[in-house]
Structure 1
Amino acid sequence: MKPEPDFLDQPYDPRDPSPWLALYLDRSTPLDEAVKRAWLADSSSRSRQYVLPFVRPLARTLIVLIQVLKTFTPRKVAFSRALHRLLAWGMENFIRPEANWLILRHFHLGSQVLQFIAANAPVEVPTHPLRPRRIADVREEMFLVHDLNLYNFVIRLNQALRESGRQLQRVERPDLSMIEQPPLRLEDMPRRRRNFLDLQSSIELFTPIYQLLLTDSDFWRATNSLQLDETIGLYAATLLDAHSHLVLVNNRHPLVPMSTLRAGFRLTLHGLSTEMLHAVLIQLRQRQDAAQAAVPATSAAACAGSAS
C-alpha cells in the first residue's frame, strides 16, 4: 500500500481546487495534525469513493432483514466473543492502516475524556479505561465494553451528583494530567495490499454483523450510545465553561432515539467528535504546562534581580 498522501505536495490549480487540500489547510475546527492527515487520507481513498456507495445500501438492507429474523429467535442469544474475534480478524486483514489507527485511538481517547470528567467532577466516579496497544486487544470484547463504560459512567456520575446534591460546574484549573496522545503508531498498523477498506465502509459492514451476533438490547444500546455525544460534550463544556465548542457535536438529541439504519454514519461522526474534543483538551493541557513552566523561570529571574 502507498503511504498516506502529503496534501501540501499536491499541485494547486485555482480552476480545479482539491477539496482535500482545502479541508487539510482549514483550521476552523480543532483536530490533531496527524489525525487530520490520516482522516483525510482515508476519506479520499478509492475504497470510500467506489466501495462505500455499494456497501451502505447493502448494510442497511441487512439491518432490516436481521431485525425481522431476530423477532423469531431467542432474545438473549449472543456471540460476543465470536463477534470480537471476527472484528479483530477483519481489522487485521482488510482495513486500511489509517482506519485501524483511528479505531484503536478512539478507545484511548474515549477513556481519557471520561477520566477527565471524573477527575474534575465534585464527586467520586470510578472509570474503566481501555488502552489497546494492538488490534488483537480488540478480541477482549472491547467494542461492547466501550459502550458499557459510557452508560455506566453517565449513570454513576449522575447518581453521585443526585445523592450529594451537587452539580458539575466550571473548574478554575482543571486536572488535565490524563490527557495525552495515545502510544499508538500509524506505521505499526497492517499495510498489506488487501488492507484497502476505508473507515466508513468498514463501519457500515461491521454494523449488521454487530447486530447479528449480539442481543437486540446490546445492539440498541450500542447504536443509541452515539447520542450521548452531546451529553459528554455538555459535561466537558460545563467544566471548561466552553459551550461554544458544542457546535462540533452532531449526534443529537440524546432524548430522541434514532433509527439503527444510520448507525454506521453516526458512528463516524462519533469518532470525529471525540477526536475534536480530545484536541481541545490537548491544547488546554499544552497551555497549562507552558504556564507552569513559565512560573519557575519568572521566580528565578525575580530572585536574581533581588540578589543583585
Structure 2
Amino acid sequence: MTIKTGNGPSAYLKAIANDNSLPIEQAALDLWLKDLQNPLRWGVRPLLQFIFAILLHLTWLFKRLPLPQFSAHNSLQKLICWFCTHFVSKEANLLILRHYATESNVLNFLAANSPNSGFKPVQLYPKCIADMQHASFVEHDQELFRLFAELGSWHHPKQPLTPQQLNWQHWQSVDMAQFEFTEKRTQWLDFESAHALFMCLFCLLLTREEYRDAINGFNLDQSIAIRIGDLMGDNSLREMAYNKFPHYLVGPWNLGQRFLMHGFFTEHLYAYLQQRYSTEKTEV
C-alpha cells in the first residue's frame, strides 16, 4: 500500500466534501471545509478553548453572585464587529453572516405556516460585518424568543400542509454575492477559535439571565425541527437537531460544540427548505 503525502485535503475531508446525506448548500460546505484546513484550528484552538473554558466558568460564577447586574450590549457588539473586521477569517465571517440569514428564514417559514399567524417577521439579514452593530447577537437571540412567545403552544396538525398550502411569503434565498466583504491580511482566525475568545466577553457583558437564556436558546432547535417536520410531513427533520430538550436548562459546559452544532442545524434545515422552495417555484 502506498501512502500519499501532500498539502491538500486529507482523505476524510475529501470524503465529506462529497457527502450530501444531510442537506447543505455547496457555498456553506466550501466555507466550512476551508475553515477546517486553517492550521490555527488544530494548533491554537484547543489551547484557547481550554484556557477560556476555565475563565468562562469563573465569569459565570461571578455573574451568579448576589451583586447588581450590568450589561453593555452596544460595547459588546462593537468589540465583536471590530474583531471580526480585523482578525477573523473571511470564511468564518461569511459563515456568521449566513447564519443570520438561514435562521431568519427558518423562523419566518415556521411562523408563516403556523396556525397563529399574528406575528412580526424576523428582519435580521445583515450583508456585512458593520450591519451586525444593529443586527446584534443579542437581538438575534431575543427575536427567537419573541417569535416562540408570539406563536404560543403548538398543536400538532393531523395532516401535513400540501405544497399549495405552504406559505413562502417571507422567504429570502441566501445569495452569497450580496455579502459585502473586504479581506485583510490580519484576518486569519478560524471560526471556533474566534468563538472561544468571545465566550467570556458575552458572559461578562450580558446580565446573568440574558446569557443563561442565550446559551439555552440552542435547545429550541429540536422544537423548531419538530414543528417544521409536522408541517412538512417529515419526522426525520428532528434528527438534525443536536441541541435538544429545551425545558432542561444547562450552563456553559460544552458551549463551543453546542454553538457550532446550532449553526449546522440551521444550515441543514435552511438547505432542506430551500430545495423545496426551488422545486415548487420551478413547478409554478
TM over 0.5: yes
The whole-number CA distance in structure 2 between the counterparts of 1:179 and 1:128 is 11
Q: Does the 8 A contact of 1:180 with 1:282 survive in 2? A: no
Higher helix share: 1
Equivalent residues in 2 for 1:32-71, closer than 5 Å: 32-71=25-64
**1:201 equivalent in alignment to 2:193:** yes
The answer on whether the counterparts of 1:93 and 1:190 sit within 8 Å (CA) in structure 2 is no
d(CA) in 1 for partners of 2:109 and 2:179? Answer: 28
* CA deviation after TM superposition for structure 1 residue 72, in Å: 4.3
Question: In the alignment, which residue of structure 2 is the partner of 1:222?
Answer: 214
Q: Secondary structure at the match of 1:261?
A: coil
Q: How far apart are 1:280 and its partner, in Å? A: 0.3
**Matched residue, 1:120:** 113
Partner of 2:162: 172
Residues 71, 278 of structure 1: alpha-carbon distance in 2 compared, 3 angstrom cutoff? closer
RMSD of equivalent CA atoms: 2.0
Asked if 1 retains the 8 angstrom alpha-carbon contact of 2:57 and 2:252, the reply is no
1:304 corresponding residue in structure 2: none
Seen in structure 2, the aligned counterparts of structure 1 residues 176 and 15 have a Cα distance that, compared at 3 Å, is farther
Deviation at 1:184, TM superposition (A): 4.0
Offset of residue 281 of structure 1: 0.5
For residue 257 of structure 1, what is the aligned residue in structure 2?
249
Q: Give 5+ residue unaligned stretches, structure 2.
A: none
1:135 aligns with 2:129: yes
Shift in Å at residue 58 of structure 1? 1.2
Poorly superposed stretches of 4+, deviation over 6 Å: 13-16
In structure 2, the partner of 1:9 is none
CA distance in structure 2 between the partners assigned to 1:15 and 1:186 by the alignment: 40
Shift of 1:179: 3.1
Q: Which residue does 1:238 correspond to in 2?
A: 230
Deviation at 1:151, TM superposition (A): 1.1
Residue 139 of structure 2 aligns to which amino acid in structure 1? V
Matched, 1:210 2:202: yes
Would the aligned equivalents of 1:78 and 1:215 in 2 still touch at CA under 8 Å?
yes
1:199-241: per-residue Cα shift (whole Å, max 9, x none)?
Answer: 1111121111100111101100100001111011111111101
- Aligned partners of 2:181, 2:36: CA distance in 1, in Å? 17
Cα distance in 1 for residues equivalent to 2:220 and 2:229:
14
Structure 1 regions of 5+ residues with no counterpart? 1-12, 293-308
Instruction: Tell me what 1:296 maps to.
Output: none
Cα distance in 2 for residues equivalent to 1:175 and 1:187: 26
Pairwise CA distance, 1:245? 2.3
Q: SS in structure 2 opposite 1:54?
A: helix
Q: Which residue of 2 aligns with 1:89?
A: 82
Residue 108 of structure 2 aligns with an amino acid whose one-letter code is: Q
> How many residues are aligned here?
275
Q: How far did 1:141 drift?
A: 5.6
**Deviation (angstroms), 1:102:** 0.9
In the alignment, which of 277, 291, 300 is matched to residue 283 of structure 2? 291
Q: Deviations over 1:266-302 (max 9, x none)?
A: 111101110010000011011111221xxxxxxxxxx
1:258 Cα deviation after fit: 2.4
Which residue identity lines up with residue 247 of structure 1 in the other structure? Answer: E
* Percent identical: 27
Deviates more, 1:83-92 or 1:59-68: 59-68
Please point out which of 12, 18, 39 is paired with 1:25: 18
CA contact (8 A) 1:84 1:141 kept: no
